[in-house]
Every structure is written in C-alpha cells, then in structure tokens.
C-alpha cells in the first residue's frame, strides 16, 4: 500500500467505524499513532550498523522468550 494513502485511509476507517467495535477502534488508533510516530518508516527499515573492522569489544543483547510449559525448569 502506498504510504501517502495509508494514514488517510486509517483515519477514514476509524471515523466510519461503529463505536461498538471497541477493540477494532483501539487497534486503529494504535496503528495511526505508530505510523505518525515513525514518520512513515517501517520498523524493519531502521537498521543498525556496527564497525566490525575496529577491535573494540561489542556487547550484544537480545531478549529471548522461552515457553515454560514446553521447557519447564528441572
């Protein structure tokens, strides 16, 4: 979908939505806020680059969620 048409379509859909659809209205509001906050950029487009040539130590961290029901503690 073209980015310049996306925001007006979201707003029009939110305005035309019946107020009884509370969850749909909330999701549309969140999507509008996310789109306005990122200035039309998708989260995947923002990439971080590291200087791999330098000999500096780099600390990488990532949050990993492990399903407890599938892998319980022993």
pTM > 0.95: yes or no: no
Q: Please name the helix (run of DSSP H) or strand (run of DSSP E) that holds residue 58, with its range, or none.
A: none
* Greatest CA separation for the chain: 59
Read off the tokens for 44.
Answer: 């995947």
Specify the higher pLDDT residue, 35 or 60.
Answer: 35
Region of 38 on the Ramachandran plot (φ > 0 left; ψ -120 to 50 alpha; else beta): alpha
pLDDT-based confidence at residue 16 (cuts at 50, 70, 90): very high
pLDDT-based confidence at residue 24 (cuts at 50, 70, 90): very high
Please say if the pLDDT value at position 15 is more than 80: yes
Please say if the pLDDT value at position 41 is more than 70: no
């Amino acid at each position: 979908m073209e980015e310049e048409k996306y925001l007006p379509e979201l707003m029009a859909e939110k305005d035309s939505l019946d107020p009884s659809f509370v969850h749909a209205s909330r999701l549309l509001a969140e999507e509008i806020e996310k789109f306005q906050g990122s200035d039309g950029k998708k989260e995947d487009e923002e990439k971080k680059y590291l200087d791999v040539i330098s000999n500096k130590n780099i600390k990488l961290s990532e949050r990993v969620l492990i399903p407890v029901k599938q892998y319980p503690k022993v």
